[in-house]
A and B are shown apart, each in its own frame.
Chain A
Amino acid sequence: MLFPQGATKKTTFKAACETVHDVVIVGGGVAGAIIADELAKAHKSVLILEAGPAEDMTLAGYESYLRRFYGATSKDNQAPYPVNPNAPMPRGPEARKITPGQPATGGYIVQNGPFASDTTYTRVLGGTTMHWEAKVLRMLPEDFHMRSQFGQGVDWPLNYEDLEPYYELAEAEIGVSADVEDQQYLGLKFRKGYEFPMQGLPLSYLDRQVDRGIENTAVTVAGETHSLRVRPFPQGRNGIPNPRYAGGQGFKPVGAVNTAQVEIGERCQGNNNCVPLCPVQAKYHAGKTLAKALKRGGVRLLPQAVAAKVQLRDGRVSHIAVKHYADPASPAFEEGNIRAKVFVLCANAIENARLMLQSDLPSTSGLVGRNLMDHAYLLSWGLMPERCGTMRGTNCTGGIVDLRGGTFRRQQAAFSVDIHNDGWGWATGAPYSDLTLLVDDENEFGCDLRRKLAERVTRQLLLAAMVDVLPSESNRITVDPRYTDALGNLRPVMSYNVPEYTLRGVAYAREFSRLVFQRLGAADHTAYDPEDYGYVTYEGEGYIVRGGNHLAGTHMMGTSPRNSVVNTEQRSWDHDNLYLAGGGSLPTIATANVTLTIAALCYKTASAILRDLS
């Protein structure tokens, strides 16, 4: 896929300020890219404001990400992405334990706690889809009715059937690899004859060993028995195109995006660093959609442009005040107003809320920034009795999803379990930590070192339980004039606690992992250090909870201006020509990684915007 040469320089800040665009989109991530592409198809004039430098899609830009990642000591989610004080982003290693009453201000997000989150999102062109794992689960039908079915959380103003056609569009855009027969469980339905664009990726050897070990295992929760198996996850990465897709038309995968014609249609090679960056662009990222949108004409991209204030006149948005900087290394900027008929904020759940709060816009519900949600991850790690080929793979190919739904959701959170093909990396820093241990503590060298390292690492099994978190108004983003970034924009301030409902799920997930390890004959090496920033206790047991980077809820969708910020089209109840798109609109996150649902909702939003403009 060719990224149009010079697409990031087609417009200047001055020219952009002098034009009245049909639509202005804040943020060049997956939500912004999809909406821009849909509007471009209808020949609308669209301006995308991107906070980052947007050189990412050039050959040199993408390669510089890779080089930075390969050279980084910490291989965290943001390792490939340069520090930019003008559009800063949270970084996992910044997370610190919070002393009560003293907010942690060391990272970009100011954290009041009590829970210290290491959640991140990526502020570069393509957004968080640059670092995401590309697991693209649909939400279950029951996830849309949490309140009426389980007496917990809230109901969506939409149901699964409403969203289903949009899920199909999103799966086409992302190019999902999955087989329908693997994905029909817990009420997940597909249109008759539906096929995914690409064939499912195979389970890893490790997945298959786990599956063999838990064969005929069932668990009983809340009086309901759930039998277990390892299922492949739908993946947003290039596999084998499905010839049966779209009634036999087949599917043409989108390869690497580049400005020069050196691209090839890369398919997944199992490099195993999907997170934080696929070295061959086999993994979908929003740049693939942006490239399409920019080629259609009508779409302009203005990089290094940070939205600072959404301005109202007579209840409608008149313009967005923007700070445009010339150099990421310098805080110098010029200011201007960007005008349009319709405005769409696609800057992610935290940034959308931050911008709304910084703009001090009136809100009938008062819910902007509230109900912040992010999946709580509980990690358990053990050593398999024999070598299982760990470190081959993509990061994650399969997992145990049987506890994504069930009547137990009346009492405790559901979860989905990932089997990690990259060993204990997330929990312990493996394999680097294993090397250090063997060299420093066990004085190994030469052939013995190689043998022992392989012996140890290829037996590692990490189970990551992604536990549901329900909306809670006290989990929220605010702003505080004391905390600003280099351009003087207000930084997000987060107050967050892991709800008890989730902790019950966490505690059960820990028991569940023990059972799985027992069936596999795996030695449990899990240890939760009370000094860790993510340490929480529940009923006398300690756990470490990690952030999922699945941010949601801060401009929740609902049925009225009193119970929500946006309607089912992601339009602001209070401002007719303003849309807030992305994870912030999700009323609940259940046990599905959020991107697919975000993408689906954006197709719905694009049709609403087109209706506005006609």
Chain B
Amino acid sequence: MKWDKQQAVDVDTNRAGVAMTETMGTSEEKLRYLRTQLHRAMQLEHATIPPYLMALYSLKPGSNLDAQNILRVIVVEEMLHLTLAANLLNAVGGLPDLTVDGFVPRYPAPLPDGETAFTVNLAPFSPDTLETFLKIESPVPPAPDAALRGTRRVLYGALSSGLGSTTDEKRFATIGEFYRDIEATLNQLYEDMGPDRLFTGAVDRQVTSNYYYSGGGELFPVTDIASANRAIQLIVQQGEGYTESVHDAEGEIAHYYRFYQLKVGRYYQRNDPPDGPSGPPLDVDWEAVFPVGKNLSMDDYRHLPEVRHAAAAFNESYGSFLRLLTDAFNGRPQILSEAVPMMFRFRDKFLQLVHYPLPDGRHAAPTFEIGPRRCGP
């Protein structure tokens, strides 16, 4: 569909109007809140992708096979979650937009909550990076590592600079809680408004499994309360895992436990307890990693024209990718097939950068400084 300036403005207005759910009276206010939170959900799901890609592409070719595959499958599932969040937003009449200024956070994105705060960096694969990933995907207890419990606070808020102030909004201890709030609001609205007034989005705006499928989960259209709840369940279960066991009902392992396998060097088998994977060993070679600089910015390349051009080209192509996703999520799902060659192209640019040694011994990397949408569609 055509990009509609007026609608974009409406979305921003909605954001500004966000307040605590408790104080929201009318269904209209609650619906605006729901749409904003679903926008945040998209932003949150996307925000994990650049750090995970950075870790993935920092692995030297031919090494760290297990780590490569684990990181890769997680990135792919984050893309699924992003798309499911877009389906949810579309279902309730929202307008997904991945191009608003600040949609991609400027890393490091700090988590502003006291002593247990952590920041998410664009950093190479390392034990530290893995610890951060474990924190990102940290489940509601029980978790194998008690020290990690409850450390993630208001992650979405920290990563959501583009979506207005976080100070007077609800805070959530985990992504699970964040989604449970969405779930509660959604179901409340369903009771208040009924399906016809809640699910007002056109069905042809939904992205279906025609355009995405994965061994780890299925993409489906969100058209009613059942599919909406199912989408929320899937996102949460694949991420941190709602349940107390490592495997869910389909035998799939949540992201937290996938990462935990890298930490302890062993795969889980069916029926393993969370703290005791007993599957085959898994080799991690911490040395076979390009020493890419942490949180590099274009400024770091100011005296290196070739790197600057390559990094700018990457940001440009990543920006076009987000524009394409926005168009796809706004009524043109069929153009997602064009995203495939696009992803190959920015993967190549990504790899080109991480192979490039900087004068100080670190390697270059994409900066993910994605500018605002410059002009119309």
Q: Which of A240, A259, A269 contacts B280 (CB 8 A)?
A: A259
A260-268, A502-510, A578-586: which lies at the interface? A260-268
Interface string of A350-369 (1 = CB under 8 A from B): 00000000000000000000
Q: Does A562 contact B (CB under 8 A)?
A: no
Interface string of B266-281 (1 = CB under 8 A from A): 0111000000000110
- Say yes or no: A59-B210 contact (C-beta < 8 A), given A255-B215, A263-B73, A265-B215: no
**What are some 18 contacts across the A-B interface (CB < 8 A)?**
A59-B69, A240-B211, A241-B210, A243-B210, A255-B213, A256-B215, A259-B280, A260-B66, A260-B69, A260-B267, A260-B280, A262-B69, A262-B70, A262-B72, A262-B73, A263-B73, A264-B215, A265-B216
Give chain B interface residues in 209-249, CB to chain A under 8 Å.
209-211, 213-216, 218
Would B269 and A5 count as touching, CB distance under 8 A? yes
Q: Which of A59, A67, A270 contacts B62 (CB 8 A)?
A: A67
A278 smallest CB distance to B (angstroms) = 15
Q: Does B340 contact A (CB under 8 A)?
A: yes
Residues of A within 8 A of B76 (CB): 264
Interface string of B45-77 (1 = CB under 8 A from A): 000000000000000001001100110110010
Q: Does A163 contact B (CB under 8 A)?
A: no
How far, in angstroms, from A42 to B157 measured CA to CA in the complex? Answer: 55
Give me the interface of A with B, judged by CB distance under 8 Å: 1-2, 5, 59-60, 63, 67, 240-241, 243, 252-253, 255-256, 259-265, 267, 269-270
Interface string of B70-113 (1 = CB under 8 A from A): 10110010000000000000000000000000000000000000
Would B214 and A264 count as touching, CB distance under 8 A? yes
A238 smallest CB distance to B (angstroms) = 8
Q: Which of A240, A241, A261, A269 contacts B252 (CB 8 A)?
A: A261
How far, in angstroms, from A260 to B214 measured CA to CA in the complex? Answer: 15
Would A5 and B280 count as touching, CB distance under 8 A? yes
- Say yes or no: A263-B215 contact (C-beta < 8 A), given A59-B66, A241-B209: yes
- What residue in chain B is nearest A262 (Cβ atoms)? B69
6 other contacts beyond A260-B279, A264-B72, with CB at 8 A cut-off?
Answer: A2-B251, A255-B214, A259-B280, A260-B66, A261-B253, A262-B69
> Considering only CB atoms and an 8 Å cut-off, how many residues of chain B contact the other chain?
28
How far, in angstroms, from A5 to B270 measured CA to CA in the complex? Answer: 10
Cβ-Cβ contact count across A and B, 8 Å cutoff: 60
Q: Sorted from nearest, which 8 A-B pairs have the closest CB atoms?
A: A262-B69, A255-B215, A265-B215, A263-B215, A264-B214, A265-B213, A240-B210, A265-B214
Residues of A within 8 A of B69 (CB): 59, 260, 262
Would B340 and A269 count as touching, CB distance under 8 A? yes
A255 smallest CB distance to B (angstroms) = 4
B212 smallest CB distance to A (angstroms) = 9
How far, in angstroms, from A270 to B344 measured CA to CA in the complex? Answer: 11
Residues of A within 8 A of B253 (CB): 261
Would B66 and A262 count as touching, CB distance under 8 A? yes
Residues of A within 8 A of B216 (CB): 263-265
- Say yes or no: A253-B251 contact (C-beta < 8 A), given A59-B66, A260-B267, A269-B340: no
- What residue in chain B is nearest A6 (Cβ atoms)? B280
Residues of B within 8 A of A255 (CB): 213-215
How far, in angstroms, from A259 to B268 measured CA to CA in the complex? Answer: 11
- What residue in chain A is nearest B68 (Cβ atoms)? A262
How far, in angstroms, from A277 to B73 measured CA to CA in the complex? Answer: 21
Residues of A within 8 A of B215 (CB): 1, 255-256, 263-265
How far, in angstroms, from A59 to B269 measured CA to CA in the complex? Answer: 15
A261 smallest CB distance to B (angstroms) = 5
Would B213 and A267 count as touching, CB distance under 8 A? yes
How far, in angstroms, from A79 to B213 measured CA to CA in the complex? Answer: 30
A414 smallest CB distance to B (angstroms) = 35
Residues of B within 8 A of A260 (CB): 66, 69, 267, 279-280, 282
How far, in angstroms, from A166 to B128 measured CA to CA in the complex? Answer: 55
Residues of B within 8 A of A59 (CB): 65-66, 69
- What residue in chain A is nearest B282 (Cβ atoms)? A260
Would B210 and A264 count as touching, CB distance under 8 A? no
How far, in angstroms, from A270 to B341 measured CA to CA in the complex? Answer: 9
How far, in angstroms, from A440 to B118 measured CA to CA in the complex? Answer: 57
- What residue in chain A is nearest B253 (Cβ atoms)? A261
How far, in angstroms, from A255 to B69 measured CA to CA in the complex? Answer: 14
- Say yes or no: A264-B65 contact (C-beta < 8 A), given A241-B213, A253-B213: no
How far, in angstroms, from A267 to B213 measured CA to CA in the complex? Answer: 8
B293 smallest CB distance to A (angstroms) = 28
How far, in angstroms, from A264 to B73 measured CA to CA in the complex? Answer: 6
B83 smallest CB distance to A (angstroms) = 14
How far, in angstroms, from A125 to B269 measured CA to CA in the complex? Answer: 24
A390 smallest CB distance to B (angstroms) = 16
Residues of A within 8 A of B70 (CB): 262
How far, in angstroms, from A255 to B213 measured CA to CA in the complex? Answer: 9
Residues of B within 8 A of A262 (CB): 66, 69-70, 72-73
How far, in angstroms, from A60 to B213 measured CA to CA in the complex? Answer: 24
Residues of A within 8 A of B209 (CB): 241
Residues of A within 8 A of B66 (CB): 59, 260, 262
How far, in angstroms, from A59 to B66 measured CA to CA in the complex? Answer: 8
B277 smallest CB distance to A (angstroms) = 11
